[in-house]
Amino acid sequence: MLARPKSGQNHFVAPIENDPITCIEYDAARGYAIVGSMSGRIAAYLVNFDESDKPKDQAVVPESKAIDGAPAGPVRVISSSQQGRLEVTCTILAPKSDESIRSIHLDKQRILAIVGDVQVKEWDSISHAVRVRPFRRAHHYGICTNSYTLCAGPRVLIMTTGSRDSQYFDLSDEARAHDLFPTIVRCGLPGRTIPVAFDGTRVVWVERIPSVGRSVKVQDLTTVPPTTLAEMSFTRPNKFYWGFQVSGSRIAYVTNHSIIKIWELNNKEKFLFKFTAHKSQVLAFIFRDEGRELITLGDDNKIKMWRDGVLVRKLIRINGKFHSGVPYILKRFGDWIFYSADDGVFSIHL
């Protein structure tokens, strides 16, 4: 059980080991964080706080040689932090593989890991017994296809460029999840399209239209055929846009690296809010609570919390280095914020 630290404490949780982090999940009841990486490695970090101020050098968890599915023996790590110490016990759930970890979901007694567009790995959260189940119609090795795996909790959408059909899996239904037979959604991708976000029922994609620019579409996958909820055109070629996310009836994205814009899906004439989130670059953001709350991570080592476009809280001089240019992960779990940096995964108790 994770002892509750003082508000504002910023702790090192896990090393990155030159392997970009792709997903982070946290179980507050049991006190462990599950971290997935680009290389396919998955590790569970059981953390306990020690209120002692005695300094300790930051340690690194050694790479495990465990066979896939067989947890390695726990490795104790004492890491430094701004206040107190954090004791971390690491268990390797899966070593490096050919496919990156796209998502991790904690569901009752299960740990679910989405491995590329290939398979689901499922662990019992108590015994760590593992079961591997392939996705039906996953891509075949040796065939060059552009497939995209988007995840929202236990819901998975696999889209393939040039195909009229996309595969939708709902892993929250344990009975059906044993079979992993997809629901086919008539939501094909045009050749110049990339899906960028999925919230469980809606998908956001960016399409490049010759001589026009870029078009961003939001589609509702619960209707047959899928319904286009919003379409936005971006005609300025030198502008940089990224991070499209939907929450409630709103959509948010980053422009020019540091500016956040929030729009109503049913009103593309004028944005609701526009503000400069950080002086330099926004590295990651969370859009939640029906589109009213937004949390940003900047390369100025600050995390900012916004409510309807207004700054309500700022966390400064947070731990971590941000120089590599890889995608960074920012997640909120109740009173906890977890984020990845070049030198590890960190947590903050709000």
**Every domain of the chain and the residues it spans:** 1-134+331-350
Which residues fall within 8 angstroms of residue 155, CB to CB, at 6 or more apart? Answer: 168, 169, 170, 171, 172, 198, 200
What pLDDT is recorded for position 61?
A: 33
Query: What's residue 6's pLDDT?
Result: 55
User: Residue 174 has what pLDDT?
Assistant: 61
- CA 196, CA 290: separation in Å to the nearest integer? 19
pTM to 2 decimals? 0.84
d(CA 244, CA 309): 16
Count of CB atoms situated within 10 Å of the CB of 223: 10
Specify whether the CB–CB gap between 297 and 319 falls below 8 A. no
- pLDDT tens string, the chain, 350 residues long: the values are 334 445 667 878 887 778 899 999 998 888 889 999 999 999 988 876 554 433 333 333 333 333 333 344 444 443 444 444 566 788 889 999 889 999 999 987 889 999 998 899 998 877 778 889 888 654 555 444 578 899 999 999 988 777 777 888 888 866 555 566 678 787 766 667 889 999 999 999 888 887 778 889 999 998 888 899 999 888 877 788 999 999 999 999 999 999 999 999 988 778 899 999 999 899 999 999 999 999 999 999 999 999 999 999 999 999 999 987 789 999 999 999 999 999 889 999 88
Are 13 and 49 in contact by the 8 Å Cβ rule? The answer is: no
